[in-house]
Structures are given as C-alpha cells and as structure tokens.
Amino acid sequence: MSVLPLVLLHGWGTHAGVWADVIARLDLGLAVFAPDYPGGEVAGSAAACTIEAAVDELAAIAPERCVVAGWSLGGQLALVWARRHPQQVARVALIASTPCFVSAPDWAHGMATATLAGFAAELAADPAATLRRFLLLETRDDAQARAVARRLDAALSARPPADRDVLARTLDWLRDIDLRAVLPDIRQKVLVLHGDRDRITPPAAGEYLAAHLPQARLVTLSGAAHAPFISYPDAVCKLMTDFCNER
C-alpha cells in the first residue's frame, strides 16, 4: 500500500511558504502539496468567499486521495474538507487548531470577540503592523519565543503577504466558524498536535477536538506556543511522518 500525498494548509495571515522547513524535513517519499487559500488556481476566485467554497476549489486541484494537515485556520479548513469530501480525505492532522476561534457563553477556549474585532480594525488601517502583532502573539510564551519569532518571520518574509481583501475575508472566517456540532460527523483518523503554551488556540481547544472527533489522538508538545512546527520541527515532522505511514 503506497503512502498517500500530503496537503498542508497554512494559518491566517501567512502563506504556504511557512511550510518550507517542514517539507524539507518530512520523510515521506511522497508528493507534498502546500497551496495558498484562496491560492494557486483558487486565488482571485469570486466564488471562494466562504470557507466551504474555498475548500471545494482546493479539493478540485488536490490529489484524488490524500492526507490533509492544517495549522490553526488551516486546521478548520481541513475539518470542513474532510466532512465535505470524505472520499478524498483519508486522514487529517490538526496543528494548533480549534473548532471555534472566538469565545462564546458556552465556549471559554477562544479569543475574545473584541480582540478579534480590534485586529480587523487594525488590518483596515495598517495590514503590515497587524500581521506583525499577530506573529508576536503566535510566539508569545513559547520556550524559544525569540528564535521561533525570527524563524517564522523569515519564512513569511520570503514571499509577499496576501492582499488586504483576502486577509479580511479569512479573518471573517475565524470570527464566524463554529465546527463543534459537526465534529462527530468527521469519521477519519485525526492527529491533534497542540502546544501547551498556546495563547491563540488554548490547549483546551485541542483537548476538545480530541474528545469530540470519533477517531482522534492528541499529542501535546511541551514548551510550544501557537507554531509548534516551528518550535520543534523534528518532533512534529516525525509525528506527521508516522501518522501518514500508519496502516
């Protein structure tokens, strides 16, 4: 049985270049695809204004059968993809992701709505400063915070950021998505990777995913914040390789 292709989906405010070091370290002997969203052939598509439409367009350009891994918002796309196209998505890996990004009366594991609204207002005025602030929040409290921030910044600086409209649209996705009710519908095996110092998607969000997805396994990475694949690339790549090779 051959190993399936792997699709990597990046998080909000980033691009597919963030996966460069991961791709170099993965020992899979298979094709690895890292599209932007809306990106590649999806970029510029007026239809891809919802997360469902973006997922459908990504599915159309991805391998017929694959493993889908997503970081943060990318993990939410991966879950939507697995539910909408179960014959295509064999397995899912979620890195620092969450079923619901913003807090609610019945959800204490999200970002305050006012904080996210503040990011939206700042984005309209100064996208570069907003992305920089978000990057610092992603690495805050990491055991290697300064080094992780430098590595993440270097990866992101290698390519231009998404345009303001795409950033605003995908920030709206973060505000609006709540996948808690559909998690039992996602029957694929899921690997949940979460840093125990994550300030953006708290560890309890990863625990919730692992508890409510029918076939999920949680691995907590000690000392990692919101970008564990940058903090501990060897450990994450080993976990991903083993997951893709499982029979």
The interaxial angle of helices 127-139 and 145-157, nearest 10 deg, is 140
Q: Give backbone dihedrals phi and psi of 38, rounded to 5 degrees, phi first.
A: -65, 125
Which residues have CB under 8 Å from 121's CB, separation 6+? none
Distance of CA 44 to CAs 39, 41, 54, Å? 8, 8, 11
141/139 Cα distance (integer angstroms): 6
Q: Identify whether the C-beta of residue 24 lies closer than 8 Å to the C-beta of residue 16.
A: no
Tell me the HSE value of 72 on the side-chain side, using a 13 A CA sphere.
27
What DSSP assignment string belongs to 134-185?
HHHHHHTT-TTHHHHHHHHHHHHHTSPPPPHHHHHHHHHHHHH-B-GGGGGG
Which of 72, 85, 194, 231 is the catalytic position?
72
Decide if 85 is catalytic.
no
Residues 95 and 78 sit within 8 Å (Cβ to Cβ): no
Active site residue 21: no
Instruction: Provide the edge-to-edge strand list for the sheet that holds 66-71.
Output: 32-33, 6-9, 66-71, 89-95, 189-195, 216-221
Task: List active site positions.
Answer: 72, 198, 226
